Structure formats: structure tokens, C-alpha cells
Amino acid sequence: MLVRPVKRYDEPMRGQDPWKTPDPLGEALHFLRMTGAFYCRSELSEPWGLGMPQMEDCLWFHVVTTGRCRLAVDGAPPRSLVPGEFALVPHGLGHTLSSDAESSVDAPIVYDIPHDYVSDRYAVIRHGGGGVSTTMVCGAVRLDHPSAVQLIRSLPPLIVVESAPAPHLSWMHSTLGLVADEASALRPGGEAVITRLSDILVIQALRSWIEHDPAAESGWPGALRDPGVGPALALLHSDPEKQWTVASLATEVSMSRSAFSARFTSMVGESPMRYLARWRMQTAHDMLRSGDVTVSESARRCGYESEAAFARAFKRTIGVPPGSVRKRVELSMRP
């Protein structure tokens, strides 16, 4: 029988928790909290075309529940989507959905088509020429945490989880089936079910890409899985308040200072200290937008003893003073 050692509560924690295996990639995915910007169930009939507008800092997703559609986005070849597939346009790029290539020309923007709003974030649209029908669930979600910003930057312009069966996708295809079932006849609470399932599908698609696409072996996703750089990133993410140095990080991951610095910079694209400085400001921005902390508290949590120094660094990185972010939050919370 395995017996855990008894830990005295007055003992300081030394090093990593031996009962927890560090998982930098898992921690990054854990922070992918989503804010739904727009969801819709589209009932379409050939010929039809829809223009999806550019939405900064958003990810568009599309699920075909019946029929098929053509998806075209800059930077990727056009492709056909069928039921059982999940498409993700990670950078919020404008793109078109259509029944065929000809219908994509001068396709109306989706916002210009009449919507039947089921709730404040979910609508049903009906559009097309009366021919063969296609139904879809589409949406735009925003990922706000700094981890999400880093991850999105590394993604290709289009990710499609295909319908071909694969063991690691069986759970995802089951979820797609649930979305199709809910979309077939919108029952009470159906829009809530679809939006929550859609959020899960977005995370599943990102996880599938990271774990199985060779392109994810480099850049920030690859760095998260690197045996040396990954644990260092996890330390910076979990404890930005600590006064880290390149030497202390290298010691934590059992590498020489020079080897660690060179590997980190090569994989992440910037030096450890530059990454830490930017991460601290992104984290502070996220905290201030939540409305839960003051400027002075966010400065302390990011390792700054001087609020003035923090404010200068914040404005240099984010582009606005931290006080203005806090003030916008306070104004939005007023009745």
C-alpha cells in the first residue's frame, strides 16, 4: 500500500509538489476560458452564400449538421465541410461559407441577413434560394487569457477536424452528434446546450491540433512540451510575482544558463526576461479587466514594488495606462 508522507502545515513548501506532475500544456489549455460573442443556427438552401466578417481577437467555428458547405479563408485552400466535421478559423479572419464557389462571390455579410433571436447571444437565420438544404451551427468566441493569446498566434488560418474515425477523436465526434441533435429542433434551453457544447468543441479542436499536427511541434505549443522550456514557462505563468532571473530559471529546470537561454529564445521567439515582462503585463491587463483587483494590487501580483514603474511598463506593453482599463471596468459595472 502506498502511504503519503505527512506534511506539517508549518513547513515551507520546497520545490515542486511531488504528487503533481507538471503539465505546462494542460495548464495552458485550462486557462482557455471563452466569452461567447455570437452563436447562430443557420438554415440554408441552395444557392446560398454568407460572408463572415473579421472579428479581432475572436475564433470563428462552424459545424455542418446536415448537407454540406464550401469554406474559403485567406491563407488556406477552399474546402468542403460535411456533417461530423468541425472547422475553426482561429484568427477571427473574414471568410465565406457558400453552397458553391459561384455563390461565394458578393455573398452578403451574415449580420445583414434577418435574424430570429432566441436569446441575446443566439439567433436562427434562414437564407438561400429554396434548393437543397444545409443546416449549420456557427459562432464566434473570444479567448481572453494571456495563454490563449499566445496559443492563437501560433495557429494556422484554418483547422478542420475531419469526419474520418480516429480513436482520439471519438469523444469529439460524439459531441458533434449532440450538437446536430440539438440543432435539428431547438427545444427549450437548446441554445444554452449548443453554446456550451460549442465551447467544448473549440477546446477539443485546439487540443487535437496541438497533440497531432506536426506544425504544433515548433513555436509556443512546442515550447510548452519541451522538457526544459515547458517547465520554465509553467513557472513563469504560475508565479509572475517572483523575481526570476535567467540563472534561477535554468537552475529550476536543471540546465546551464547559456543552454537554457538559447533554447528558450529559439523556441519561444524571445528571451526569457522579455517573455516574463510581456506575460506580467498581459496578466495584469486580464486581472484589471476582471474588475477584481486594483492597480496597486495588480502591480504587486506581477512583481512590482513601485506602482509608477508598473504603470510605465504597462503602458509601454499594452498601449494604455492601467488606470484607464480599471476605469472602463468600473463604468461598465455602474447601473
CATH code, domain carrying 43: 2.60.120.10
Q: Tell me, yes or no, whether 147 lies in a domain.
A: yes
Q: Give the angle subtended at the CA of 214 by the CAs of 213 and 216, to the nearest 5°.
A: 75
Q: Is there a domain that residue 100 lies in? A: yes
CA distance 66 to 311: 52
Q: Are residues 203 and 55 in the same domain?
A: yes
Element (H, E) at 91: none
What's the pLDDT at 40?
Answer: 83
Q: Are residues 84 and 208 in the same domain?
A: yes
pLDDT tens readout for residues 156-171:
889 888 766 666 566 6
pLDDT tens column, 108-130: 998 889 888 877 777 889 999 99
21 inside domain: no
User: pLDDT digit string (tens) for 184-231?
Assistant: 766 777 777 777 777 778 877 887 787 777 877 777 888 888 889 999
pLDDT score at 45: 94
- Region 28-53 average pLDDT: 80
The answer on pLDDT for 37 being more than 50 is yes
CB atoms within 10 A of CB 244: 18
Say if residue 275 is in the same domain as residue 208: no
Which grid cell is 216? Answer: 504544433
Same domain, 240 and 211: no
Q: Are strands 34-45 and 69-73 parallel, antiparallel or unpaired?
A: unpaired
Given 182, 216, 250, which residue is the final one in a domain?
216
Task: Write out the three cell numbers for 27.
Answer: 495548464
How many C-beta atoms lie closer than 10 Å to residue 93's C-beta? 20
Residue range(s) defining the domain that contains residue 203: 26-216
Which residues have C-beta within 8 Å of that of residue 247, sequence separation ≥ 6? 257
Question: Is 62 found in the same domain as 170?
Answer: yes
Residue 34, pLDDT above cutoff 70: no
Highest mean pLDDT among 23-27, 147-151, 231-235, 246-250: 246-250
Same domain membership, residue 231 and residue 184: no
Could you tell me if residue 102 is inside a domain? Answer: yes
Q: Cα(325)–Cα(286) distance, rounded to whole angstroms?
A: 10
Query: Does the reported pTM lie above 0.75?
Result: no
Domain closes at, from 156, 188, 216:
216
| Of 265 and 39, more confident | 265
Stretch among 7-11, 18-22, 45-49, 63-67 having the lowest mean pLDDT = 7-11
Say what the pLDDT of residue 326 is.
Answer: 75
Residue 160 lies in a domain: yes
Tell me the CA distances in angstroms from 59 to 54, 128, 158, 186, 265, one per residue in order. Answer: 10, 25, 10, 24, 28
Give the three-class secondary structure for 313.
helix
Q: Is the pLDDT of residue 14 over 50?
A: no
The answer to the question of residue 122 being in a domain is yes
169-183 tens-digit pLDDT:
666 777 777 777 777
Q: Residue 323: inside a domain, yes or no?
A: yes
In terms of domains, do 192 and 243 share one?
no
Based on the fold, state whether residues 212 and 233 are members of the same structural domain: no
How far is Cα 200 from Cα 212, in angstroms, rounded to an integer? 18
Same domain, yes or no: 56 and 132: yes
> Rounded CA gap, 78 and 247, in Å?
48
Residues 151 and 289 in one domain: no
Any idea what the CATH number is for the domain that residue 299 is in? 1.10.10.60
76 in the same domain as 46: yes
Whether pLDDT at 23 is above 80: no
The predicted structure's pLDDT at residue 1: 35
Given 216, 244, 272, which residue is the final one in a domain?
216
221 located within any domain:
no
205 and 126 in a single domain? The answer is yes
Query: What's the structural domain count of the chain?
Result: 2
